[in-house]
A and B are shown apart, each in its own frame.
Chain A
Amino acid sequence: MTQIHVSTTINGDAVEFLCEAQETLLDVLRDRLGLTGAKEGCGTGDCGACSVTLDKRLVCSCLVLGAEVEGREITTIEGMADGEILHPLQQKFLEHAALQCGICTPGILVAAKALLEKNPDPTETETRYWLAGNLCRCTGYDKIIRAVMDAAEQMRGA
């Protein structure tokens, strides 16, 4: 099978890869590029654990073909911290104990960052609906919502 050559930008870096037509962006990130921060919880867009942004839009990378990202800009959880400085959301997730097992955490952080870029002052209800596509089975969401709201407040003050 002929592989497809793709040039793209991931977390600000120019990246080239080869993939097969049916490979998803999630497959490419995890299996070809070693970016295993995005997780596969369902493969059908129902859990949000593979969330990344594609040209600044929040998407499930399991529902994007690798071949589609030619010339696009992708950000993943690996691009969220600035060197050793954590993003305020990452810091607040730690402070609020907003993760238990941590498998949903990368996807939720990517999704929450997209929320705060669009809406710096979300209500609790807006936050809950925005994150409804990110399943968490451990926390009951309470501390996640608190962490996002707290990070939003801090970022507004910054």
Chain B
Amino acid sequence: MRYEAPRTLESAVALLAGEPGSAQILAGGTDLLVRLKSDIGEPDLVIDIKRIEAMKAITAEDGGWRIGATVSGAELGEHDGVGAAWPGVVEAAELIGSTQIQGRATMVGNLCNASPAADSVPALIAAEAVARVTGPDGTRDVAVGEIATGPGQTSLAKGEIVASILLPARPARSGDAYLRFIPRTEMDIAVVGVGVSLTLDASGICTAARVGLGAVAATVLLVEAAAAALIGTAIDEAALERLAAACSAACKPIDDKRGTIEFRTKVAGVLARRAAAIALARALSGHSTARKAEK
């Protein structure tokens, strides 16, 4: 295995595209280093992208926020602007692993690792976030939901790197939230994860909603029926029940060491209802204060 730490995105892409053997991007390394020690073994080349200045930044863009590929969970959590606009995304990213993991793990890495249980991805999908992909043939923007194609599989072509994620601007009276179920209080992989983002009109009626559902299928799902259950309602008890039913119905889970089909299906609905209630409260009250109070 060779190690390279290029200074520019272009040289990183060139290294990645030019490697005849297997190559891996190293950002936070919290998934990659675990894989290096497993039976899967070592790639021929590891490209550390943390020396690329442009990837370290969180920048305001068109009323939204662009998050660089090497921004760690801890750095994201300390950024007041992103936390105020997208508290659900930030709390999802902050749920990835321990304090130690937060010091390294990145949201882009979480996306590109392509685990169906990735904590930040349901929240990113609910947020309609866009990944910026750079490769030998230039740069393209891709909906985050299109990056993963299956467990550990992505749509990225050879030589392509996700350089950043854009969280779009927020309309007024919007809120988002992410909840996951784990057996312990920390240090577990999500058994179910639900991200909800919604916007209300002045009268409190939901005008837009997106619901992302993790760990219940081969990829994180965007559940349109769940959003439809909320849109046009005041997000009352009946709407929440329909939301829960839609989420449970969308589940195509497996039985594994972390949970049963029955459990995941039921809890997806329970968490969707709870997450929507939090998102609603944030939309009604102004999210930055809401998030601080919950902490």
Contact = CB atoms under 8 A, between A and B. Distances in A.
A and B touch in the complex (CB under 8 A): yes
Contacts of B74: 57
B103 A45 contact: no
Given A21-B46, A63-B104, A129-B186, A45 B37 contact: no
B201 interface: no
Given A4-B3, A21-B1, A54-B103, A62 B72 contact: no
Interface residues on chain A, size class: 20 to 34
B91 to A, nearest CB: 13
A70 B48 CA distance: 12
B33 A65 contact: yes
Interface in A28-71: 43-46, 48, 51, 54, 57-60, 62-65, 67-68, 70
B166 to A, nearest CB: 25
Contact of A64 (B104, B185, B187): B104
Interface in B16-30: 26, 29-30
A54 B28 CA distance: 12
B36 A45 contact: no
B257 interface: no
A134 B97 CA distance: 11
A45 B186 contact: no
Contacts of A24: 33
Contacts of A132: 98-99, 185-187
B33 A21 contact: no
A45 B3 contact: no
Given A111-B99, A132-B99, A132-B185, A63 B30 contact: yes
B104 A133 contact: no
Contacts of A54: 103
B241 interface: no
Contacts of A131: 99
A44 B34 contact: yes
B291 to A, nearest CB: 15
Contacts of A21: 1-3, 46
A57 B56 CA distance: 15
Contacts of A134: 98
A114 B98 CA distance: 13
Contact of B34 (A58, A63, A68, A114): A63
A45 B101 contact: yes
Nearest to A111: B99
Interface string A128-147: 01111110000000000000
A73 B2 CA distance: 23
Nearest to B42: A22
A67 B1 CA distance: 12
A65 B37 contact: no
Contacts of A44: 34, 37
B72 A57 contact: yes
Contact of A45 (B46, B48, B98): B98
B238 to A, nearest CB: 35
A13 to B, nearest CB: 22
Contact of A65 (B29, B97, B101, B103): B29
- What 3 pairs between A and B have smallest CB-CB spacing? A133-B98, A132-B186, A57-B103
